[in-house]
Amino acid sequence: MIGTIQEGIRLFNLKRWDMALQEFLSALEKAKPEEETLNEELAYYMGLCYTKLEQFDDALLYLEQVVTGSHDTLRVYQCRITLAYIYVITKRVKMAESELARLGETGFESVQLYTILAYTAWSERQYQKAVDLYKKALQMDNSNATAINGLGYILVDTAMDVQKGLLFCKKAVDMNPKNPSYLDSLGWAYFKNGNATEAVNWLRRALDLAPQQKEIRNHIKIVAGEAG
pLDDT score, position 179: 95
Q: For residues 43 and 23, what is the distance between their CA atoms, to the nearest angstrom?
A: 12
pLDDT score, position 228: 46
Query: Domains in the chain, start-ordered, CATH in brackets?
Result: 143-228 (1.25.40.10)
pLDDT score, position 24: 92
10 within 8 A of 45, measured Cβ to Cβ? no
Q: Which long-range contacts (CB under 8 A, 24 or more apart) does 218-226 make?
A: 219/184, 219/187, 219/188, 219/191, 220/187, 222/191, 223/187, 223/188, 223/191, 223/196, 223/199, 224/200, 226/191, 226/196
Q: For residues 146 and 112, what is the distance between their CA atoms, to the nearest angstrom?
A: 9
Tens place of pLDDT per residue across the chain (228 aa) = 555 888 999 999 998 999 999 999 998 888 776 666 678 889 999 999 999 998 999 999 999 999 998 888 888 888 988 998 899 888 888 888 888 777 777 767 788 888 988 988 898 899 999 999 999 999 999 999 999 999 999 999 999 999 999 999 999 999 999 999 999 999 999 999 999 999 999 999 999 999 988 999 999 999 987 644
The DSSP output letter for 45 is H
210 within 8 A of 216, measured Cβ to Cβ? yes
pLDDT score, position 73: 86
87 within 8 A of 93, measured Cβ to Cβ? yes
The amino acid sitting at 29 is E
pTM over 0.75: no
